[in-house]
Amino acid sequence: MDNFHIETAQNVTIQQNVASLYNRIGAFLLDLLIIVAYYMLIVLILIALDYKPTESIYTFYALLSLPVFFYSLLFETLMNGQTPGKYVSKIRVVKIDGSKPTFGSYLIRWVLRIIDISLASGSVAILTILLNGKGQRLGDLAAGTTVISEVKRVTINDTLLVDIPEEYTPTFPQVTLLNDKDIQTIKQLYLTAKRRGNYKTILKLHTKIIEITGITTEMKPTNFIDVVLKDYNYFTQQM
């Protein structure tokens, strides 16, 4: 699944790491396994209690099925965009701009599961996700949401180093007012915020760096922090 970029009203460019179709199907199957286990547990309890079917048996079963009926809506609302299956798979529902969905967003996704998943056995959802390019099924398109991956990839991004061209020309000599610990903290927070679409954290980092270094710039926050990281690496490599 391709990642995509969005630009918020605060001029912060966010890269969304769209959850793969395999991860979403895996999360769905894990949730289905939990639901099956729930029904099996209920049956075992009824057998242990020697429960005898009565005329109200269908009403009884309907009540027992309510947690299953509201399963995804309940868990996504209470677990900040995750069901147990999504939690294990490290994926999460977010708004398309990276912010936290409202209850209304979760409700729209849940209602449209009937078309996306239930009526067509998931084929509509799979087709829409593959064609959309932003990890959205019909419910996501209507709710303005997507599903992102929170899996952390271990790369050079996890170190102090950043890639800089051989003929790189620094822009802000004031970055030397920062130290290795500052840059490592900035880099970790920045990359995590970009991965999760947390533009508020990026804005706070942007403001804090300017406050410490006294830099004046018209750059967008993401571009500015990228340059600060490269400049710091450039100057420290010259020492």
pLDDT given at position 166: 73
Please tell me whether residues 137 and 161 are part of one structural domain: no
Whether the model clears a pTM of 0.75, i.e. scores above it, the answer is no
> What whole-number percentage of the chain has pLDDT above 70?
85
Q: What is the rounded average pLDDT of the residues 105-119?
A: 92
**pLDDT tens, position by position, 82-99:** 999 999 999 999 998 778
Last residue of a domain, one of 116, 149, 182: 149
Averaging pLDDT over each range in 20-29, 112-121, 183-192, 226-235, which range is the top one?
A: 20-29
Looking at the structure, tell me whether residues 46 and 145 fall in a common domain.
yes
Question: 133 and 82, same structural domain?
Answer: yes
Q: How confident is the model at residue 6 (pLDDT cuts 50, 70, 90)?
A: low
Looking at the fold, whether 119 and 169 belong to one and the same domain comes out as no
Q: How many domains does the chain have?
A: 2
Pick the residue with more confidence: 12 or 138? 138
pLDDT computed for residue 94 by the predictor: 92
Same domain? For 133 and 166 the reply is no
Higher pLDDT, 232 or 60: 232
Mean of the per-residue pLDDT values for the chain?
Answer: 84
Q: What is the pLDDT of residues 195-210, one digit of tens each?
A: 777 888 899 999 999 9
Question: What does the pLDDT average to over 180-207?
Answer: 86
Mean pLDDT, rounded, for 38-66: 79
pLDDT(106) > 70: yes
- Could you tell me if 181 and 198 lie in one domain? yes
Q: Are residues 63 and 135 in the same domain?
A: yes
Amino acid letter, 175: V
Does residue 33 carry a pLDDT above 90?
A: yes
Look at residue 212 and tell me whether its pLDDT is greater than 70: yes
- Are residues 36 and 68 part of one domain? yes
| 125 and 60 in a common domain | yes
User: Is residue 122 pLDDT above 90, yes or no?
Assistant: no
The pLDDT, as a whole number, for residue 155 is 47
Q: Are 146 and 18 a contacting pair, CB within 8 Å?
A: yes
Together in a domain, 8 and 39: yes
Which of 115, 149, 183 lies at the terminal end of a domain, its last residue? 149
Domain around 229: 156-237
The answer, yes or no, to whether residue 105 has pLDDT greater than 90, is: yes
Do residue 161 and residue 144 come from a single domain? no
Last residue of a domain, one of 120, 149, 178: 149
If asked whether residues 88 and 182 sit together in one domain, one would say no
The answer on pLDDT for 178 being more than 50 is: yes
pLDDT digits (tens, 9 = 90+) for 138-151: 999 999 999 998 87
